[in-house]
């Protein structure tokens, strides 16, 4: 509605104009008016960026002041543009799940022969409350609000910025977009159809197919009572610029909260079940905290922690630094010792078996926890340390129980890529077994040379790499090991023949 300016007139004229204005406003209110007079099925509008995901909720709304319709089944047909959107999932509406509806399915098809005025991609969603199969019957039909389905799309990478792509109800025949009564003897057809931002209903079509609803000929169906009772409001998705920030894991539009950190933390113990079953794709996309294009990494968790404690701004930092950390588990002494070329700020450990660790590293202003998973016979531990990192070459923890360290991730306070290595020993180390394979061969020489000439880029167990026991790792150690393997030279320090 365009703006109008009202000038002062005589009281009778002012009241008349006010009355006319109110009447016109009531006529032009789209959703509010048809929501109060008739039930309506709504898709709604969403926004997402190229490559992003958007989930639409197809809902049936009924005003509690009006006479409701009791629905026990539906067949919904929705059209979209597959060049812009890719359907990735269709999930039963939450109300249907809560009420115990027994049948829900969907299928997709291509609308062959479609012109510019019709959608080329189609989704049909069908549900029935009770299929009389002898099982328990539905507990409710939710007269005043029915969540029918969730549709999740991914936006094409080539989608035009700031454009709109419609997601519309579509009628190919009279059986599309109908709701069924509990007895199955009545069908509720489209009364009026609205676009997302339309203030007036679209004109009733005379033929099918149509985006505007059903023609009058559909109101008479053999053996059924067809009633024009339901309004339909189509939707669309708007293509927006990609978000400048990440970190909104709980999708409440407030990124980088402590609640987001809790969601991320839970992922490392619960896996994907830590996320919402409907919106998990959007949540996973938010885990790229450091902006390197990779989601669900431990570095992202530490970066989110840094943002929350105020150490850094929520923008990615390009740190070319390379770091390494070797986690050495000694099963004889039940300890885990770490050797690193920098101060670490966080570590994630997975043990095969059930253990109870005692952490030796500090947790001031940080977090630490471990979870024994009896179902999978494993133990998961997470440590987030003090600001700026604290620990490098020292004993990290002791433990009771039996378990083998099988996975380790680490991060420093500068978002470096920390390369990790695990070495499990039973007491006396095997000198010369540089790569921790349990054997001494040419692979150990190659590994040692790579470590020496890449400036420490590869992780290395310091107990296994000092061939001549001079306290350092250099080219002499590589030559020493080559002589031992191929020329019968002296054994590396500590080897028992």
- DSSP conformation letters of 49-102: -TT-EEEEEEEEE--TTSPPPP-SEEEEEEEE-TTTEEEEEEEE-HHHHHHT--
Alpha-carbon distance 442 to 418, whole Å? Answer: 26
Element (H, E) at 328: strand 322-330
Sheet harboring 322-330: ordered strands across?
Answer: 367-373, 378-384, 344-359, 394-412, 335-340, 322-330, 417-425
pLDDT at 230: 93
Q: Is 308 exposed, middle or buried (0-12, 13-18, 19+ CB in 10 A)?
A: middle
pLDDT at 21: 39
What mean pLDDT is predicted for residues 289-298? 88
Q: Tell me the pLDDT tens digit for each residue of 416-457.
A: 888 888 888 875 567 777 766 667 888 888 877 877 776 544
Alpha-carbon distance 375 to 273, whole Å? Answer: 15
Measured CA angle at 83 (ends 81, 84), to 5 deg: 75
Length of the chain: 497
- DSSP conformation letters of 415-471: --EEEEEEEEESSS--TT-TTSSSS-SHHHHHHHHHHHHTTT-S---HHHH-TTSSS
| Closest to 169 (Cα-Cα) out of 57, 42, 300, 333 | 42
Confirm if 90 and 150 have CB atoms less than 8 A apart. yes
Start-to-end C-alpha separation, the chain = 92
Tokens of 332: 């004889």
Alpha-carbon distance 333 to 21, whole Å? Answer: 85
Task: Please check the confidence at residue 25 and state whether its pLDDT lies above 50.
Answer: no
> Where does the pLDDT of residue 141 fall: very low under 50, low under 70, confident under 90, or very high at 90 and above?
confident
**Residue 293 Cα to chain centre, angstroms:** 14
Alpha-carbon distance 349 to 344, whole Å? Answer: 14
What mean pLDDT is predicted for residues 349-378? 88
Measured CA angle at 51 (ends 46, 56), to 5 deg: 25
pLDDT at 317: 57
Q: Is 37 helix (H, G, I), strand (E, B) or coil?
A: helix
Q: Is 165 helix (H, G, I), strand (E, B) or coil?
A: strand
Q: Tell me the pLDDT tens digit for each residue of 67-105.
A: 788 899 999 999 999 999 999 999 999 899 999 999 999
**Which range has the worst mean pLDDT, 257-266, 356-365, 470-479?**
470-479
Task: Please check the confidence at residue 10 and state whether its pLDDT lies above 50.
Answer: no
Q: Tell me the pLDDT tens digit for each residue of 184-232.
A: 778 999 999 998 877 889 999 999 999 999 998 888 766 668 889 999 9
Domain extent listing, the chain: 1-31, 38-239
We find that the CATH architecture of domain 38-239 is Sandwich (2.60)
> Where does the pLDDT of residue 485 fall: very low under 50, low under 70, confident under 90, or very high at 90 and above?
confident
Enumerate residues 6+ apart whose C-beta is below 8 A from 212: 171, 193, 202, 203, 204, 205
Q: Tell me the pLDDT tens digit for each residue of 312-329.
A: 878 655 555 678 899 999
pLDDT at 121: 94
What mean pLDDT is predicted for residues 292-312? 87
Element (H, E) at 384: strand 378-384
> Where does the pLDDT of residue 486 fall: very low under 50, low under 70, confident under 90, or very high at 90 and above?
confident
> Where does the pLDDT of residue 24 fall: very low under 50, low under 70, confident under 90, or very high at 90 and above?
very low
**Residue 217 Cα to chain centre, angstroms:** 45
Task: Please check the confidence at residue 415 and state whether its pLDDT lies above 60.
Answer: yes
Element (H, E) at 308: helix 298-309
Inter-CA distances, 411 with 347, 416, 419, 452, Å: 7, 7, 9, 22
Percentage of residues in the chain with pLDDT exceeding 90? Answer: 37
pLDDT at 9: 31
Average pLDDT, the chain: 82
Percentage of residues in the chain with pLDDT exceeding 70? Answer: 84
Which residue reads 């619960």 in tokens? Answer: 270
Alpha-carbon distance 369 to 371, whole Å? Answer: 7
Enumerate residues 6+ apart whose C-beta is below 8 A from 67: none
Confirm if 148 and 43 have CB atoms less than 8 A apart. no
Tokens of 377: 């016979």
Alpha-carbon distance 111 to 39, whole Å? Answer: 28
């Amino acid at each position: 509605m365009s703006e109008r300016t009202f000038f002062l007139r005589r009281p009778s004229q002012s009241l008349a104009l006010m009355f006319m204005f109110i009447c016109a406003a009531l006529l032009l209110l789209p959703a509010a008016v048809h929501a109060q007079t008739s039930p309506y099925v709504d898709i709604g509008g969403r926004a997402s960026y190229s490559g992003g995901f958007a989930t639409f909720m197809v809902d049936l709304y009924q005003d509690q002041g009006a006479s409701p319709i009791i629905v026990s089944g539906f067949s919904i047909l929705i059209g979209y543009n597959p060049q812009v959107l890719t359907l990735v999932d269709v999930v039963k509406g939450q109300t249907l799940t809560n009420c115990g509806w027994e049948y829900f399915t969907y299928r997709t098809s291509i609308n062959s022969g479609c012109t510019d005025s019709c959608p080329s991609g189609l989704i049909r969603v069908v549900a029935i409350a009770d299929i009389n199969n002898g099982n328990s019957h539905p507990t409710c039909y939710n007269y005043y609000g029915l969540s029918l389905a969730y549709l999740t799309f991914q936006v094409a990478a080539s989608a035009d910025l700031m454009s709109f792509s419609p997601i519309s109800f579509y009628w190919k025949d009279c059986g599309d977009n109908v709701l069924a009564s509990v007895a199955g003897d009545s069908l509720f057809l489209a009364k009026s159809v609205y676009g997302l931002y339309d203030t007036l209903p679209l004109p009733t079509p005379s033929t099918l197919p149509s985006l505007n609803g059903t023609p009058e000929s559909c109101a008479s169906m053999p053996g059924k009572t067809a009633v024009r009772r339901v309004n339909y409001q189509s939707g669309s998705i708007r293509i927006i610029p990609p978000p400048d920030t990440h970190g909104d894991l709980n999708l409440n539009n407030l990124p980088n909260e402590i609640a987001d950190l809790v969601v991320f933390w839970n992922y490392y113990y619960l896996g994907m079940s830590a996320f919402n079953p409907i919106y998990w794709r959007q949540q996973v996309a938010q885990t790229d905290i450091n902006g390197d294009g990779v989601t669900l990494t431990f570095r992202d968790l530490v970066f989110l922690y840094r943002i929350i404690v105020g150490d850094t701004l929520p923008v990615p930092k390009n740190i070319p630094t390379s770091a390494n950390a070797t986690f050495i588990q000694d099963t004889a002494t039940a300890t885990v010792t770490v050797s690193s070329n920098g101060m670490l700020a966080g570590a994630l450990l997975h043990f095969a078996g059930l253990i109870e660790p005692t952490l030796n590293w500090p947790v001031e202003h940080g977090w630490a926890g471990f979870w024994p998973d009896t179902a999978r016979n494993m133990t998961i531990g997470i440590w987030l340390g003090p600001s700026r990192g604290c620990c490098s070459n020292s004993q990290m923890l002791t433990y009771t129980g039996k378990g083998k360290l099988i996975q380790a991730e680490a991060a420093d306070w500068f978002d470096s890529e920390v390369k990790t290595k695990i070495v499990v020993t039973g007491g006396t180390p095997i000198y010369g077994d540089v790569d921790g394979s349990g054997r001494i061969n040419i692979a150990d020489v190659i590994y040692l040379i790579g470590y020496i000439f890449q400036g420490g880029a590869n992780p290395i167990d310091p107990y296994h790499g000092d061939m001549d026991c001079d306290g350092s790792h250099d080219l002499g150690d590589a030559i020493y090991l080559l002589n031992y393997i191929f020329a019968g030279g002296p054994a590396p320090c500590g080897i028992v023949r």
